[in-house]
Amino acid sequence: MIRRWIAFLACGVAGGAAGWWLASREGLAWGLLLGAAAWQLIDSWYARRMLAWLRSEQSNETPLLMAGAQPSLPGVWGEAADRIRRLLKNSHQQYSESQARLDEFLAALQASPSGVVLLDDEGRIEWCNQTAAQHFGFDARRDLQQHIANLVRDPVFNAYMTAASFLHEVVILGSSSTPARPVRLSVHVHRYRKDRKLLLSRDITALEQAEVMRRDFVANVSHEIRTPLTVVSGFIETLQTLPLKKPERDRYLALMGLQSQRMQTLVDDLLTLSRLEGSPLPGAHEWTATASMFAQCEQEARALSSVIAAQGHELTFETGPACEIAGLRRELCSALSNLVNNAVRYTPGGGLIEIYWTMLADGRGMFCVRDSGPGIAAEHLPRLTERFYRVDRSRSRETGGTGLGLAIVKHVAQRHGAELRIESQLGKGSCFCIIFPAGRVRRQTQPA
Ligand code: ADP
């Protein structure tokens, strides 16, 4: 401020001195006046320059431009401009930092597997992530500020929003839901800051399906075990209460043995399935020769065939080129013998069953079990590998089937990166093939 006064006085003194020199005493007053006016003019010019700078600053709002346009004004104007510039620079920096934090926060919400929608007090969409947009069929940009009730038409959802009691979640159908493929969403609203709302949505279709499968599985297992168990306990009661002769007792004991064998097989298959689900994927370091698998399988198949059908079956085993498969021998043998056993069990005595291994042109290897049995109607084919799914229930039970054989085969195939292919026609027999990827098959260089 002192400098400002000094500048003002200096202008006055200079003007006065000039006036005195030009027109002595009379000129002094004019000189002083002109000096003060000159000072005022210069000061106004500084003020205008600063205003112009401030205006341009406000229109641009960039610290870089502000720094570039920094006025080199003297005295109080220069200091004021400098302070304003620093203030603007700081506030811009703070703004950039909070913008970056907000972007990070939104990116985290964007990455959330749940759908997230922010609603204002009126229920209008302020922001939503891509998952929510997918769940509800929103356009994440176009639908901003739209009322959510206008976009989500599900009556359950509308009742939930109208009731405004958000203690629990509701389940509604997703926008991509179709009668054939329903998509079920769990939606939960949470209030924050008085009446603003955070809406979270989760796709629970798979979860619900898994729950249904779990319940079905438990019911099926209980049913499968209860049937032989009822028979066994009935026989025990008979043996305990009736004075039976030895041949009768022996017959009952044999039947009890059969039922307990059935339970044993079921438990074995269940354990196999749970092992397959729980163990790590088979690596590519253990190699199993196809010929040795065939040898083991052939023995079992011939023994089963003689038990099931009096006249047996015509069984042919073609081991094809000597090869090895990368995978667990126990699992591979179990898959192959399940297919062969099914062929033997479902093909009437005297029927033809061909088991062969072949290499495909692209390096893949294929196991096939073809039979001349009753065949399977097309509508059953997609469901054959489901647990406990049976086409011929009585034939399956009669021959000691558990309904888990093909589920085991499918699991083993998947674990080895292989494909299970089923071809069948009613009355024309069936063909079950497992096709192993080229990376898991190699020609055997030395005999096993
Ligand atoms: P199961 O223990 O009942 O044989 P699987 O899972 O092995 O159970 O097979 C499922 C169903 O597929 C069987 O119940 C049977 O109806 C049908 N099936 C399997 N293999 C054959 C086959 N080779 N010929 C005809 N039907 C078959």
10 pLDDT tier (thresholds 50, 70, 90) = confident
Q: DSSP string covering 66-94, please?
A: HHHT-----HHHHHHHHHHHHHHHHHHHH
- For residue 380, the CA-to-ligand 1 centroid distance in Å is 10
Instruction: Please name which of 81, 79, 80, 78 lies closest in space to residue 66, comparing C-alpha atoms.
Output: 81
- By CB neighbour count within 10 A (0-12 exposed, 13-18 middle, 19+ buried), where does 110 fall? middle
In sequence order, the 6+-apart residues with CB closer than 8 A to the CB of 211 are none
Ligand 1 pocket, mutate which of 267, 391, 424 (most atoms under 8 A from CB) = 391
Share of the chain above pLDDT 90, in %: 70
Cα–Cα dist 433/183, whole Å? 34
Ligand 1 pocket, mutate which of 380, 390, 397, 398 (most atoms under 8 A from CB) = 390
Cα–Cα dist 34/29, whole Å? 9
The Cα angle at residue 105 between residues 104 and 107, in degrees rounded to 5:
65
Ligand 1 pocket, mutate which of 334, 344, 346, 379 (most atoms under 8 A from CB) = 346
Q: Where are the domains of the chain?
A: 2-105, 112-203, 207-279, 281-448
169 pLDDT tier (thresholds 50, 70, 90) = very high
Q: Which amino acid is at 402?
A: T
* CA of 347, closest atom in ligand 1: 24
- For residue 230, the CA-to-ligand 1 centroid distance in Å is 25
Cα 425 to the center of its chain, rounded Å = 37
Q: What residues does ligand 1 touch, defined as CB less than 6 Å away?
A: 342-343, 346, 371, 373-374, 376, 384, 389-392, 396, 401-407, 430
Query: What pLDDT score does 63 carry?
Result: 36
Which is it for strands 314-318 and 352-359: parallel, antiparallel or unpaired?
parallel
Mean pLDDT of 213-226: 92
pLDDT at 64 over 50: no
pLDDT tens-digit map of 404-421: 999 999 999 999 999 999
Query: What pLDDT score does 71 carry?
Result: 47
pLDDT tens-digit map of 109-123: 999 999 999 999 999
pLDDT tens-digit map of 227-281: 899 999 999 999 999 888 999 999 999 999 999 999 999 999 999 999 999 889 9
Cα–Cα dist 423/429, whole Å? 9
Instruction: Please name which of 388, 371, 387 lies closest in space to residue 422, comparing C-alpha atoms.
Output: 371
| CATH, domain range 207-279 | 1.10.287.130
- For residue 342, the CA-to-ligand 1 centroid distance in Å is 6
Fold of 112-203: Beta-Lactamase (3.30.450)
* CA of 406, closest atom in ligand 1: 6
Helix (H), strand (E) at residue 363: none
Q: Which amino acid is at 212?
A: V
Q: DSSP string covering 91-144, please?
A: HHHHHHHHHHHHHHHHHHHHH-SSEEEEE-TTSBEEEE-HHHHHHHT--TTTTT
| CATH, domain range 281-448 | 3.30.565.10
pLDDT at 447 over 80: no
Q: DSSP string covering 29-44, please?
A: HHHHHHHHHHHHHHHH
Cα–Cα dist 299/199, whole Å? 63
Identify whether the C-beta of residue 178 lies closer than 8 Å to the C-beta of residue 154.
no
